Amino acid sequence: MPVDTALKSFFRPLLRRAFSPAVSGLTARIAELENRMRSKGEESGAGQDGDIPAQVQRLSREMDLVFTALYEMAHDNDRSAPFASRRTVAAFGHQWAEIPSGKYMLSDPVFKAQVDRIISEEELLMNRTWFGGKRVLDAGCGGGRWSYGLAKLGAQVTAVDTNPSALAATRAALDELGAKAEFVRSDLETVDAKLPPESFDLVWSWGVLHHCTSFSEALRSVSKLLKSGGLIHLYLYGRESIPLSADVALFKERLRYNYMQDERQRQAFLEEKARGIDMDVHHAHDIYAPIINRRFEFEEVRDLLEKLGFTHIERTLKHTELWIRAVKGPNAEAIEKYGLPKRDPPYWFQV
Ligand SMILES: C[S@@+](CC[C@H](N)C(=O)[O-])C[C@H]1O[C@@H](n2cnc3c(N)ncnc32)[C@H](O)[C@@H]1O
């Protein structure tokens, strides 16, 4: 893309909206460079003036620093930057309202038929006889696929999500089973104020905490709702899967998607991505729309869980992403009686 087009359509609006006070010097330099290019009538910096490519290179290195700083601000574990938080919540609101269908969703008959088995035998590694009558918090229920599976296993589900569109989709899924359930609209960070403390046997949070405004507050809050001896099950993105540099490159793409002018452009972007890497639009949206996408080392999460009083902290799937099961407090009777051995791949999402 010609440099001046990139400057106009991407860097400048982004900096103005998200980060302008801290980089006003840089934006002034961008404007200066743009003026010089215009006055020379050049389309790109690779023209006859040998001075300009050097400036563009320097600018590009500085932009990399800005993106890395933005990445850090978006992924602070205690509080993500407001621009990232707002857009991430909105992205999921849009997803459940407009593009709920996809592979491994409830619209996928193969997944739907075996979601209860997946929960018991591949994810949580607990015999299905354990679930009957258990109080389960689906923390960040999304389209309701796990609430549906947990209800099929006989659990009493409380579904929580910050987005009304997610709760509506989950309600529809549970209605299909005729299952009684509770629905709570809340941020996970504050859900401990809305439900009784120590009242759940299982907190199930699949693919949610890495998107929350505050990872540490959300984890603290849902942990308070768990009974002593209860289980927590988390799916989180693992740092091992994508090195930081590749992740920052992906983050740039997310910004590009988020700051597109209109919905048609965003839709075309996702469709192109979906075709290019053989996935569906729902999955492409998962990758490119939520700006907050933290990645963790297992040890980092284990230490946090230990500080919150968890024991028996284990990875349940052999994978570079993190599937973590832990027990609140020292009483591990549930897993001693009902625990299943860890399985080898392939797992449900690999076949
Ligand atoms: C990737 S989706 C996962 C949904 C579901 N667990 C699943 O696996 O299908 C993340 C969900 O978390 C919700 N979410 C994001 N931040 C949240 C927060 N701070 N509190 C509650 N829900 C949140 C989003 O609305 C979205 O439904």
Ligand 1, CB within 6 Å, residue ranges: 89, 92, 140-143, 145-146, 161-163, 166, 187-189, 206-208, 211-213, 218, 286
pLDDT recorded at residue 3: 46
pLDDT recorded at residue 4: 47
Q: Specify whether domain 109-240+295-350 bears CATH 3.10.450.50.
A: no
Q: What is the pTM of this model?
A: 0.87
Q: Which has the closest alpha carbon to 56: 45, 72, 43?
A: 45
Q: How far apart are CA 62 and CA 69, in angstroms?
A: 11
**Which of the residues in the chain have pLDDT under 50?**
1-4, 6-7, 20-23, 45-47
Q: How far apart are CA 301 and CA 325, in angstroms?
A: 11
Domain boundaries, the chain: 3-98+243-288, 109-240+295-350
pLDDT recorded at residue 245: 92
pLDDT (tens digit per residue) in 47-57: 455 667 888 88
Q: What 3-state class would DSSP assign to 221? A: helix
Q: How far apart are CA 187 and CA 209, in angstroms?
A: 11
Cα(279) to ligand 1 centroid in Å equals 20
pLDDT recorded at residue 107: 95
Query: What is the helix, strand, coil percentage profile of the chain, to 5?
Result: 55, 15, 30
pLDDT recorded at residue 317: 98
Cα(204) to ligand 1 centroid in Å equals 12
pLDDT recorded at residue 1: 46
- The runs of H, that is alpha helices, within the chain are 3-6, 12-14, 24-40, 51-74, 82-98, 109-117, 145-152, 164-177, 215-224, 244-258, 263-276, 281-288, 298-307, 333-338
pLDDT (tens digit per residue) in 300-327: 999 999 999 999 999 999 999 999 999 9
